[in-house]
Amino acid sequence: MPADRLKRITSLRRTCTPEQAAAVAEMVELRSRAAGRFTSPEAMLFTPQGLEQSTGSRAAAHRAGRFVAGTTVLDCCCGIGSDALALLNAGCRVVAADSDRVTLLCAAHNCANTNSAFVCADVTQLDLGRMHRLGVDAAFIDPSRRKSRDSGGNSTRIRASEEYSPPLSFFAKLADAFPIAAAKVSPAIDDESLAPFAERQNCRIEFVAERGECKEAVIWAGSPAPGLDLPAGYMASVLGPGGRTSLLYPDGGTEAADFALLPGEGLVPGMWLYEPQPSVVRAHLTAALGRRLRAEFVSLDSRYLAATEFSPTPFATAYQVLDCMPLHAAAVHRRCAELGRNVMAIKTRWDTTEPEPLQKQIKGASKSAGVPQCCVIVVTSARRKFAIITQPAEPEAQ
């Protein structure tokens, strides 16, 4: 089929009505956009909004694995069925509900399975107690977090939890009705919105990262699958390569950065710098990770950690310190060149410094083949800016 959309529609109209041709062309485009998110998008049906909010296969499988196999799960606001499909693959039975009939038809196609049933309904109007008495053991909800599309066809993401559809407060009803309930929410949700759930007995909040990005937050209420007993409070998960998943949870210590090394004095060549995964930072577990790594905060204004010895960890990216100096672009450029290093990246995370101007001034050695690379990390300490010249740890050591 032609790559150009207009040519594709023109070709389809030889055998289809104009409406059918437009629908087929749109589905081809949606399947192409879904290629990096699902394992078999070519066999699935999508709607534009359903694809926008759908969960990728890896994150959905991770979450589904926390439900006991054989459990009957009510998938509220099921959308195109990505989470329902993951639950089915985890051995659960699924009752999927959505108020949009077209989206529900897509879900029924994507989840064709004898262990699934589909209901076109507003979940807030369902008799949850009756459903539990009839055998539904658990509930999962992924509320809509997008406003209506504007005249240009664009949609904006909602941040306020009570503007979700349905509002996050509805999750409390699910948690009261079923032995286990889970809600997927934005990882950018504020702590104040999470407080009512964090204070509930037997309730946990998990932040999930994949490929260096905090993908989602999940509120858990009740008892998950045996062997997956989760501690109370905030947790951080990292979905690593090869299907490996790592979980970091509170260790009882304080999260306050009450001590930090002094760049240029306490941070010396040979030490190791750690950049925590975003789920660790969002879960307020950076200090807990530091205690695990026997590391200290580099700066009270950043989340970087430093230690004298290297410890492989899935919860952070490690860099070995080559040098540390005040941030003066020309001086840093000369030092990188003296070290025979080409600057591969300048990182200003947790700092107000704009990286673009520095990238033009700090290039280090020639970019000739075989020249080793370095990464310059900018931090602020006691109102002074420092450049930490580092080399990333070998990938197999991470």
Given pLDDT bands bounded at 50, 70 and 90, which one contains residue 396?
Answer: low
Contacts of 179 (CB under 8 A, 6+ apart): 137, 138, 222, 223
195: tokens are: 């407080």
Amino acid code (one letter) for 138 = A
- Of 323, 248, 256, 325, the closest CA to residue 293 belongs to 248
One domain for residues 73 and 206: yes
State whether 66 and 182 are in the same domain.
Answer: yes
- pLDDT (tens digit, 9 = 90+) per residue, 65-97? 999 999 999 999 999 999 999 999 999 999 999
Q: What is the pLDDT of residue 185?
A: 94
- Per-residue model confidence (pLDDT) at position 54: 84
pTM of the model: 0.87
Looking at the domain assignment, is residue 258 inside a domain?
no
Q: Provide the domain count of the chain.
A: 2
Spell out where 266-370 has E strands. Answer: 272-276, 296-297, 305-307, 316-326, 342-347
Q: Flag whether 29 is in a domain.
A: no
Residue 237 vs residue 159, higher pLDDT:
237
Query: Do 305 and 219 fall into the same domain?
Result: no
Q: Of 290 and 49, which is predicted with more confidence?
A: 290
Q: Out of 20-34, 59-73, 107-121, 159-173, pick the least confident.
A: 20-34
287 and 361, same domain (yes or no) = yes
The verdict on 60 and 196 lying in the same domain is yes
Same-domain check for residues 142 and 243: yes
Residue 257 forms part of a structural domain:
no
Among 216, 248, 280, where does a domain finish?
248
- Judge whether 254 lies within some domain: no
pLDDT the model gives residue 14: 64
The residue with greater pLDDT, 173 or 259, is: 173
Range of the domain at 90: 48-248
Cα–Cα distance, 159 to 34 (Å, whole number): 24
Give the mean model confidence (pLDDT) for residues 281-303.
93
The enclosing domain of 282 has a CATH number of: 3.30.2130
Q: Where are the beta strands (DSSP E) in the chain?
A: 72-76, 93-98, 116-120, 138-141, 180-185, 203-210, 213-222, 233-239, 245-248, 272-276, 296-297, 305-307, 316-326, 342-347, 373-381, 384-392
Other Cβ atoms within 10 Å of 345 Cβ, number: 13
Average of per-residue pLDDT across 238-257: 85
Q: For residues 304 and 392, state if they share a domain.
A: yes
376 and 241 co-located in one domain: no
133 CB-contact burial (10 Å; exposed 0-12 / middle 13-18 / buried 19+) = exposed
**Token duo for residue 5:** 């959309």
Q: What is the pLDDT of residues 331-386, one digit of tens each?
A: 999 999 999 999 999 999 999 999 999 999 999 988 888 899 999 999 998 889 99
Q: What is the domain-level CATH number for residue 132?
A: 3.40.50.150
For position 202, what pLDDT does the model report? 84
Question: Of residues 112 and 290, which shows the higher confidence score?
Answer: 290
pLDDT band of residue 261 (cuts 50, 70, 90) is confident
